Amino acid sequence: MRPRERFVQAAKKEVLDRPPVWLMRQAGRHLPEYRAVKEKKSFMQMVKSEEIIFEVTLQPWRRYKMDCVVVFADILLIPDAMGMGLSFSQGKSPQFEKPIRDFSDLKNLRATDPSRDFPYLLKTLKRLRLELGDDAALLGFAGSPWTVMSYMTQSADPKLKKQILERLTEETIDYLLAQVESGVDAVQIFDSWGGRLTPEEYREWSLPYIVRICEALQKKGTPVILYIKESRPLLNEMCESGATVISVGSDTPLAEAATLARGKVAIQGNLSNELMVSATPEEIRQATEAMLQEMKDFPGYIANLGHGLLPETPIENVRSFVESITGNR
């Protein structure tokens, strides 16, 4: 079975001879070839350049031949395109020139139009789709409204926050549908900070918006992966979101997720990204094989990490992880 089909079949809850594999944040600073590009450009210059998106997206795939390639972009490109002025300075969290403090700041943000605001991304997705053929699935992504909002404002006003979430939901649907038009096989919603909410809060502040996004993509038949970093208390909510696949953090025992998800949704995850830094390649192989064993009979499993690959991860460990799953050496 070719990698692209393997990935799509796993999202459809098929039991396969082996699961597909990719790694969150596989493109980035753990690769010397990424650091070489980064030396000459800022992150914002990189994510807006067609040539660099194409190159950096393919870098990890050329080395490791995982089954899925995730486009090089960022969850904060939407608020940037709305006019907030995003920048990343070395070693700091992302900064907005104009954070939202009140309703007038929100009103001043413009509505995005994907073909006007993200032509570099959409054109490169089309090119990547042609380049990859059936040799890898192509994954698009966006942040969840809740997670993206948490970077846009410090406000505690619930009315203001709900309006931001409404705006982001509309923007995110258009953005993801444009990625689908440009050839992605599936999309992932990063609700990385969803785990900061209790299940009750999650049902108020994050889930309803994700449900709407999933509905819009479901109409196109596009699989949606929903990721939460601290997913364990929120597994029920994740299963009810309308997502096709739930991507769980390393806090979640896979067997526990499997019991809740069986027959409803596929599962992605969840080797520790910290183990990927500290262990030897042999220890990675053992941990990965144990994980595969645990999910052997689960219908619809995609091997991945519990959170993004860290910059200090050794190349040999990433190789060991991927090869333990694909069997290629």
Stretch that binds ligand CP3, among 25-33, 127-135, 152-160, 272-280 (CB under 6 A): 25-33
Q: Work out whether 38 is an interface residue with ligand CP3 (CB under 6 A).
A: yes
What is the phi/psi pair of residue 44, to 5°? -65, -35
Exposed (0-12), middle (13-18) or buried (19+): which is 128, by Cβ within 10 Å?
buried
Residue 76 sits in the site that holds ligand CP3 (CB under 6 A): yes
75 binds ligand CP3 (CB under 6 A): yes
Look up residue 295 and give its two tokens.
């999910």
Candidates 72, 146, 209, 321; binder of ligand CP3 (CB under 6 A) is: 72
- Candidates 18-26, 100-108, 121-129, 297-305; binding stretch for ligand CP3 (CB under 6 A): 18-26
74 binds ligand CP3 (CB under 6 A): yes
| Complex with ligand CP3: residue 53 or 258, whichever CB lies closer | 53
Residue 119 makes CB contacts below 8 A (sequence gap 6+) with none
Stretch that binds ligand CP3, among 67-75, 195-203, 257-265, 318-326 (CB under 6 A): 67-75
Rounded (10°) CA dihedral 74, 80, 85, 91: -10
C-beta neighbour count of 289 within 10 angstroms? 12
Nearest alpha carbon to residue 270 among 282, 253, 290: 253
Please state the closest distance from residue 314 (CB atom) to ligand CP3, in A.
Answer: 17
Q: Which is nearer to ligand CP3, 238 or 258 (CB)?
A: 238
Q: Does 63 bind ligand CP3 (CB under 6 A)?
A: no
- 96 near ligand CP3, rule: CB under 6 A: no
Identify the residue whose tokens are 């089954």: 67
Structure token pair of residue 58: 């393919």
**Residue 138 is a binding residue for ligand CP3 (CB under 6 A):** no
Helix, strand or coil, per DSSP, at residue 141:
strand
C-alpha span between 133 and 227 (Å, rounded): 26
| Of the candidates 238, 248, 242, 183, the residue with the CA atom closest to the CA atom of residue 216 | 242
Contacting residue, 54, 118, 120, 141, with ligand CP3 by CB under 6 A? 141
Give the footprint of ligand CP3 on this chain (CB under 6 A).
Answer: 24-29, 38, 43, 70, 72-76, 88, 93-94, 141, 190, 192, 308
